[in-house]
Amino acid sequence: MSTQPIAIIGAGLQGLTTALALQQRGEVVRVLERAEGTALETSYANAGMLTPSQVDPWNSPGVGRHLLQSIGRDQSAMLLRLGALPSLMGWGLSFLRHSTPNRHRQATRRAFALARHSIELTAQIREKLGIDYDASTHGTLKVFRSDRAFAASIATAEFLGREGMIFEALDADGVIDTEPQLAEVARELVGGLRFPDDECGDAHLFCRRIAAEVEERGGRIDCGVDVRGLECRGGRVTGLHLEGELVDASRIVVAAGSWSVELLRSAGLRLPVRPAKGYSLTLDAKGIPNTPRIAVVDDTLHTAIVPLGDRLRIAGTAEFAGFDKRVRAPRIRNLSDLLQRVYPSVAARADLGSANAWAGLRPMSSDGLPFIGPTRIGGLFVNSGHGHLGWTMAMGSADLLADLMVGKPTAIDPSPYLAQRAL
């Protein structure tokens, strides 16, 4: 075993869990993070859901038409901004190529295997370290306003049921029995699906605790350090370009979310990942009676309302807008409108004006699966491209990558997620 630290670029969900997984296998790690703290980018205020039940990639059959229709429509749950089109060309074609029914089903099954492994490891580390991240283990309730959408989701659930996912189909009365607070909107609902094994919790709190554990184990986490590029010689990675200096490194993990693309480009590699912007609105729910007890996904509005301790988070929507992280008022309005449509009396009592509005960039792969493992450049590894499932898949992805790096057998078959399919 080498004693030179493994350099990990990025201190989000993937970078931090990778650091811990490598330490657990006896490696020494150094995490380099551009921001002033850990998990301040996409892992900061995501929806917080650990959902093996929602693993179907977003390029479902028909997605192309859907995206074209969304151009210029701020109300669309999935929105394509014209300005982002040039940066999406090659990636977009691959995204569409993977949206055939067969490919989509195959990616869904593969994503489920990783998500299920990951959620088990998340529960184990929560117990082992006694991490409090406002976790809830009540599952997810997905509600439907149209028979067609309900039937399509039942078909997906039945498909994943054959892979071991547990779910329960509910009529409108069953939905209200599960979440009585939805009684106000019962007339609009045609039914729901309950996924009892899903969990939720605050990913940022989780990351902070994992970062503390990495440091307690002797790992170094350097924030405020911008990695400008990778140095490679003779088919191997040899170092990192920081501001004004070149630092030697013979093993590097790129776990820089959407920004992994530019780092890998500096080594001549093209990672098919593009940012898909999403929004969240987090409000203080202390003192509001009858707040939701279970994470609720509204299928029509493609958005989730998630209880996080004393807070409530409304999150969702996808916008292809390049690296523009501006929080746009109409998109945030969509989230508060959703709260109004699902929990009118909570919305009436909530102080939405002081709620925390946030936007983050999901690193979306074009084939719906993350990129994990070695690249064709010796010593250079990747853990990125988890899209809407980066929290759900974090612990499992880190586990796979760490085993691949130290040459141990992996807990599940890594082949569908291997980075070498693109790099």
Ligand X SMILES: Cc1cc2nc3c(=O)[nH]c(=O)nc-3n(C[C@H](O)[C@H](O)[C@H](O)COP(=O)(O)OP(=O)(O)OC[C@H]3O[C@@H](n4cnc5c(N)ncnc54)[C@H](O)[C@@H]3O)c2cc1C
Q: Which residues bind ligand X (CB under 6 A)?
A: 9-15, 32-35, 40-43, 46-49, 226-227, 255-257, 259, 263, 278-280, 315, 360, 362-363, 384, 386-392
Q: Cβ(238)–Cβ(248) under 8 Å? A: yes
Q: Which is nearer to ligand X, 13 or 350 (CB)?
A: 13
Least separation, in Å, of the C-beta of 1 and ligand X? 25
Q: Identify the sign of the CA torsion 305, 309, 311, 315.
A: negative
Neighbour count for residue 83 (Cβ, 10 Å): 11
Least separation, in Å, of the C-beta of 183 and ligand X? 25
Residue nearest ligand X by beta-carbon distance: 390
Give the H or E element holding residue 9. strand 6-9
Q: Are strands 295-298 and 245-248 parallel, antiparallel or unpaired?
A: unpaired
CA–CA separation, 22 and 28 (whole Å): 7
Give the residue carrying structure tokens 């080594």: 267
Q: Which is nearer to ligand X, 285 or 335 (CB)?
A: 335
Q: Which is nearer to ligand X, 54 or 172 (CB)?
A: 54
Q: Which is nearer to ligand X, 14 or 156 (CB)?
A: 14
CA–CA separation, 142 and 56 (whole Å): 14
Q: Which is nearer to ligand X, 176 or 249 (CB)?
A: 249
Least separation, in Å, of the C-beta of 254 and ligand X? 9
Least separation, in Å, of the C-beta of 52 and ligand X? 10
Neighbour count for residue 5 (Cβ, 10 Å): 19
Q: Which is nearer to ligand X, 387 or 414 (CB)?
A: 387
Least separation, in Å, of the C-beta of 416 and ligand X? 17
Least separation, in Å, of the C-beta of 232 and ligand X? 16
Neighbour count for residue 130 (Cβ, 10 Å): 8
Least separation, in Å, of the C-beta of 383 and ligand X? 7
DSSP bridge pairs for 199: 50
Q: Which is nearer to ligand X, 174 or 196 (CB)?
A: 196
DSSP bridge pairs for 383: 372
Report phi then psi at 360, rounded to 5.
Answer: -140, 165
CA–CA separation, 366 and 103 (whole Å): 12
CA atoms within 13 A of residue 395's CA, in its CB half-sphere: 20
